[in-house]
């Protein structure tokens, strides 16, 4: 809402709090479940350009309503009130229980404004996600929440995931122009073996599961401490190579099973990004072919990397990227799902797919690439 923000902000009743949160209301609570994480990182043994780390994950995500409004004051725009939830996200390896990720942050709503002019989508809300991780990286990803009815995550028209505005969560590294002026994400479902740069799996054999992990092909489970179990041929019915190529297939597998069991879906899709426009390739087997810019409604935001991560410009590096991994882009879709069945009790399910692009040089070269860090999970609202 806009106007004068109250000097005394006391939390009202639960119904009012939920009403203020709108499409974010069902996020409140504790969610638990499983997922998958893929990240490429430098191989400091010097035997290969990268180490590909693959983890099946356990996740606990706790979100608590803030309750009272958060005032946002301006000069050209009347004061507005933001409503939201704070969260704590913990992710561990599914087999070793070893820590992988911890993140704190907020989800917030934003009303329409006149200065600057921002209008909420017809069936939704302007939203934002603020995230901080111990590496010293802070992310503001903005976008929109919209209501949906029907199975989420499934592929529509051979390219886009249902109720997501993003056509790809492809895992292949891609070249960053010199100087960095943007980049193109590979098309949804594109063959990793044909993706840029030229060569099998983008030129990196670690992405080809048929190649055994070794000192010269470093990938989980090689040289991990404690060692991870040998990668299975399938995860939740999806071939491991397909999971590496497009991790969102794990979300689709869960939904397909539920649809086959007679479940229906309704809920809200949250699409957020740290950039208002992201360019995706549209030619599945031709990385040099056509591309299409995807504009995320009401998206903007930005990313802050600490000076330690940025470092100073180094001899031989490209553009403004220093010696460490530099987070350049984050986009994600969260599907809040009320899952119903004509003969069984309903339950709440949360699925998400997130792309984080890390820019860093291949060790010993001046080639700067964007390295996709893809995370997906299917969580259910927990009693605890």
Per-residue CA distances from 16 to 13, 237, 270 (Å): 5, 43, 21
Q: Which domains does the chain have, with CATH numbers?
A: 14-381 (2.40.128.20)
The pLDDT assigned to 198 comes to 44
CA-wise closest residue to 105 among 78, 73, 148, 137 = 137
The pLDDT assigned to 143 comes to 94
The pLDDT assigned to 302 comes to 87
Cα 67 off chain centre by? 26
The contacts of residue 157 (CB under 8 Å, 6+ apart) are none
At 277, list the tokens.
Answer: 């426009």
CB contact at 8 A, 118 and 143:
no
The pLDDT assigned to 187 comes to 64
Residues of the chain with pLDDT under 50: 197-199, 285, 314-320
Nearest-10 Cα torsion for 318, 319, 321, 326: -100
The pLDDT assigned to 208 comes to 83
The pLDDT assigned to 4 comes to 62
Beta strand segments in 150-246, E: 155-156, 160-161, 174-175, 184-185, 234-235, 238-239
Cβ-based neighbour number of residue 227 at 10 Å: 12
- Residue where the block lists tokens 């000069």: 75
The contacts of residue 140 (CB under 8 Å, 6+ apart) are 128, 129, 130, 274, 301, 302, 303
Gap between the Cα atoms of 325 and 369, Å rounded:
10
The pLDDT assigned to 310 comes to 63
Cβ-based neighbour number of residue 278 at 10 Å: 25
At 241, list the tokens.
Answer: 């190579």
Q: What is the pLDDT of residues 240-291, one digit of tens each?
A: 888 988 899 999 999 999 999 999 999 999 999 999 888 876 655 455 556 7
Cα 135 off chain centre by? 17
How long is the chain? 384
In this structure, what are the phi and psi dihedrals at residue 46, rounded to the nearest 5 degrees?
Answer: 80, 10
Give one DSSP letter per residue of 122-143, joined into a string.
Answer: TTEEEEEEEEEETTTEEEEEEE
* Torsion sign across C-alpha atoms 206, 244, 240, 56: positive
Q: What is the pLDDT of residues 120-141, one digit of tens each?
A: 887 789 999 999 998 878 999 9
Model pTM score: 0.90
* Alpha helices, DSSP H, located in the chain: 14-21, 240-245, 249-260, 307-310
Nearest-10 Cα torsion for 70, 73, 78, 82: -20
In this structure, what are the phi and psi dihedrals at residue 22, rounded to the nearest 5 degrees?
Answer: 60, -125
Pairing of strands 184-185, 277-281: parallel
Q: Which helix (H) or strand (E) covers residue 269, if one does? A: strand 264-273
């Amino acid at each position: 809402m806009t106007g004068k923000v109250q000097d005394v902000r006391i939390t009202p009743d639960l119904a009012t709090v939920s009403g203020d949160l709108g499409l974010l209301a069902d996020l409140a609570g504790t969610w638990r479940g499983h997922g998958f994480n893929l990240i490429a990182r430098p191989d400091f043994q010097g035997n290969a350009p990268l180490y590909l780390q693959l983890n099946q994950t356990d996740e606990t995500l706790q979100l608590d309503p803030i309750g009272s409004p958060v005032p946002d004051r301006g000069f050209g725009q009347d004061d507005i009130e933001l409503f939201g939830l704070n969260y704590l996200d913990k992710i561990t390896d599914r087999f070793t229980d070893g820590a992988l990720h911890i993140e704190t942050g907020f989800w917030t709503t934003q009303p329409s404004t006149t200065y600057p002019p921002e209008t909420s989508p017809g069936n939704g809300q302007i939203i934002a996600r603020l995230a901080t991780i111990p590496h010293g990286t802070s992310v503001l990803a903005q976008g929109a929440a919209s209501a949906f009815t029907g199975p989420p995550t499934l592929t529509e028209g051979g390219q886009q995931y249902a109720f997501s505005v993003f056509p790809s969560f492809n895992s292949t590294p891609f070249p960053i122009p010199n100087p960095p002026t943007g980049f193109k994400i590979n098309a949804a479902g594109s063959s990793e073996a044909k993706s840029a740069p030229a060569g099998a799996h983008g030129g990196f054999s670690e992405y080809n599961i048929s190649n055994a992990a070794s000192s010269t092909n470093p990938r989980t489970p090689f040289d991990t401490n404690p060692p991870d179990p040998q990668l299975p041929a399938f995860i939740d019915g999806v071939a491991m190579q397909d999971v590496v190529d497009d991790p969102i297939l794990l979300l689709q597998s869960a939904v397909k099973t539920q649809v086959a069991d007679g479940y229906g879906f309704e809920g809200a899709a949250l699409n957020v990004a740290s950039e208002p426009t992201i360019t995706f390739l549209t030619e599945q087997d031709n990385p040099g072919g056509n591309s299409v810019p995807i504009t995320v409604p009401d998206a903007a935001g930005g990313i802050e990397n600490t000076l330690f991560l940025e470092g100073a410009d180094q001899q031989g590096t490209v553009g403004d990227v220093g010696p460490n991994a530099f987070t350049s882009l984050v986009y994600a879709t969260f599907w809040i799902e009320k899952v119903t069945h004509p003969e069984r009790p309903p339950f709440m399910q949360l699925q998400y797919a997130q792309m984080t692009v890390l820019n860093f040089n291949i060790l010993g070269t001046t080639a700067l690439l964007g390295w996709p860090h893809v995370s997906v999970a299917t969580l259910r609202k927990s009693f605890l």
